[in-house]
Structure 1
Amino acid sequence: MENPLNVALVGYGFVGKVFHAPLIQATPGLTLHTVVSRDAAKVQADWPELTVVSDARTAFADPAVDLVVIASPNDTHAPLALAALERGKHVVVDKPFTLTLQEARDVVAAASRAERLVSVFQNRRWDADFLTVRRLIEEGTLGRIAEFHSHFDRFRPRVQDRWRERDAPGGGLWYDLGPHLLDQALQLFGAPLAISADIARLRDGARAADYFDVTLRYPHHRAVLHASTLVAGNGLRFAVHGTRGSYLKHGLDAQEDQLRAGVVPGAPGWGMDPRAGEVVLERDGQLVTEIARAEAGDYRRYYAGIRDAILHGATPPVTPQQMLDVMRLIELGLQSSAERREIAVG
């Protein structure tokens, strides 16, 4: 393989430490070269050989850096992406891509002028259960889809003092999990006709949205996207209902837990979900429940796609238009919830 691409990671909080750093290091053709963090000791406890700098612009000015990955608070995404592009770097931004659709357009335009790649980290396209859903739909196992329910619920009843839960630009669950669920729906079904959203604060003392229930209206089916921080039971992830049967899946993809536990991406059992889900189909006039054949997930496929796009001109794993489509729905969802009405997507 060619000389590896040197990567500068901006931010070493939960997302940078748990997701990006190990996935970058585990992807052939990429090398984690620099981390931007004000806590050098924290970074070097995990990666003693890395360069650590406190200022992102120092990393952007380094000619050895090829690719910048931005895993800092949401309101810094657009300005940092623009600054990195100005220095001729390729850029990956953790979701959400930006705070507004106009910011997203500005970053995409800057990347085009600089002739550099820009992409957003939509790792959950490579969740095992989402890949299983995609296969079942594409194979026609469930028939014509009538209802698609996608849940990402957790039980976090106590409000924490962290930027994701503050009443500040980019805070709240809609910016945190909304981009994932919207992107998955768009991958399966394309753009909806309209969106209806209920985005709310339900926990005692909540300062940012901690709940959303969103319906995407398509000509012949509905996609319901739901997330809450007050779900201690149930654990539904997907419920997909069609004219031939249903797919039901409980529990989240295993890769996040594996990364939290320090499992090296690609180790034995990586991306395998022990809870494969069930398919309920009609056979000979009877409803029969079967264990679904589960696909294997692998978040490294995102970074392998970034590598191939930079080195070989392949289509990026998440294209600029796909990023803009998600940001458009993020904004329309906020408008729908504020005005308490369905908004046409057009």
Structure 2
Amino acid sequence: MSSTPKSIIRVGILGYGYATATFHAPLIDAVPSLELVAISSSNAAKVHADWPHLQVCSTPEELIARADIDLIVIPTPNDTHHALAAKSLSAGKHVVVDKPFTLNTAEALDLIARAKTAQKLLSVFHNRRWVADFLTVQKLLASGQLGRITHFESHFDRFRPEVRQRWREGAGLGSGLWYDLGSHLLDQAICLFGMPQTIYLDRALQRDGAQTDDWFHATLAYGTLRVILHASMLVAHEGPRFIIHGTQGSYTKEGIDPQEDVLKAGLRPGDEDWGIDKTMGRLDVMRGTWMQHSQVPNERGDYTRYYAAIRDAILHGAPNPVPATEALQVMQLLDAGILSASEGRLVKL
């Protein structure tokens, strides 16, 4: 990837939906040496209500064509990711694509090849690598306190019984919970354990009027280890976020990282309590002949670490925080899961 001799990276974002307003715009604005200069939207008033100083381009193509933009961020509907990223790379821009990377493995491979040809950074916004609970789990597993891990369970449950009129819950390509939350859980599993040997996915439409999957349960096999990934839109009282069992003990953690809710409330990174998850996990570990019970404080989460790493990768040649090749693995598992669910069978990888 070619380096950029600038000290400031000028950023443009395509679209002003939930992901842009809640995540990308505030996070980019909070990172030094990233300058958010433009957003493409057909509703300039909506953008200016939140960001009065930003320039608004009426179409993605208009923004992509601007010579003063170094980095394009693509948090648009999933079925547009490939086309918009391809146009951005062809225009000589660095590119960040929201998760999931694309609709399928073939599209992901094509973008990886285009980025290599263009010698531009291509990264995917798997922001939940920087949440408090996952960072805590990473540290705990690295410590070896649980011994050999035999069971890892990761839930992302919500209570949203009403089907909302938005593309994520419609019947279009790339919609549904498996693409939306499944990509987060798969990315975290790969970070911890690598690629599994097999995957089995069951998914369903459970809410009244559901047009796409709003429940899934996936099992990933790693030798004797089983990884369970589960999400539902009909869980009124959330159970544990993580359940981990090993040959020396267990860990459970309830609650969810607060950063999204804080951003939705209009608060910004840098606040004193930013990234702090006060709900500690429970650790039960054998110490000789007795079981020790303790609470585990959480590491501090921080989504801005993703964009700080993007800045350093472009300006200084530091590692890409989420290379497209890693996001490709998530796409391979999303594809394998869809095949498993459609044919009702275990899929070998």
- TM-score > 0.5 by shorter chain: yes
**How far off its partner does 1:3 sit?**
2.5
Gaps of 5+ in 2: none
8 Å CA contact 2:101, 2:331 repeated in 1: yes
Could you tell me which of 168, 171, 174 is aligned with 2:172?
A: 168
Residue identity (%): 52
Matches within 5 A, 1:1-346: 3-345=7-349
TM-score (normalizing by structure 1):
0.98
CA–CA separation in structure 1 for the residues paired with 2:151 and 2:196: 13
Which 10-residue stretch deviates more, 180-189 or 308-317?
Answer: 308-317
Greater than 4 Å deviation, 4+ residue runs: none
- Tell me how large the CA RMSD over aligned residues is: 1.2
**How far off its partner does 1:57 sit?**
1.1
8 Å CA contact 2:7, 2:315 repeated in 1: no
CA–CA separation in structure 1 for the residues paired with 2:328 and 2:196: 14
**How far off its partner does 1:284 sit?**
4.8
8 Å CA contact 2:284, 2:292 repeated in 1: yes
8 Å CA contact 2:15, 2:60 repeated in 1: no
CA–CA separation in structure 2 for the residues paired with 1:242 and 1:225: 17
Gaps of 5+ in 1: none
- Aligned pairs, number: 345
State the SS of the aligned residue for 2:135.
helix
8 Å CA contact 1:150, 1:181 repeated in 2: yes
1:297-335 C-alpha deviation (Å, 9 max, x unpaired): 100111111111111112200112201111000000000
State the SS of the aligned residue for 1:227.
strand
CA–CA separation in structure 1 for the residues paired with 2:6 and 2:62: 26
**How far off its partner does 1:2 sit?**
5.4
State the SS of the aligned residue for 2:157.
coil
1:173-192 C-alpha deviation (Å, 9 max, x unpaired): 01101110000000000010
1:94-114 C-alpha deviation (Å, 9 max, x unpaired): 011100110111111111111
CA–CA separation in structure 2 for the residues paired with 1:168 and 1:320: 24
8 Å CA contact 1:88, 1:114 repeated in 2: yes
What amino acid maps onto 2:83 in structure 1? P
Which 10-residue stretch deviates more, 15-24 or 240-249?
Answer: 240-249
What amino acid maps onto 1:113 in structure 2? T
CA–CA separation in structure 2 for the residues paired with 1:3 and 1:30: 9
Which 10-residue stretch deviates more, 183-192 or 156-165?
Answer: 156-165
1:116-158 C-alpha deviation (Å, 9 max, x unpaired): 0111000000010000000000011211111000000001111
**How far off its partner does 1:220 sit?**
2.3
What amino acid maps onto 1:70 in structure 2? I
1:46-91 C-alpha deviation (Å, 9 max, x unpaired): 1111001111111111111000000111111110000111100000
What amino acid maps onto 2:182 in structure 1? G
What amino acid maps onto 1:233 in structure 2? H
CA–CA separation in structure 2 for the residues paired with 1:310 and 1:79: 23
State the SS of the aligned residue for 2:209.
coil
8 Å CA contact 1:2, 1:29 repeated in 2: no
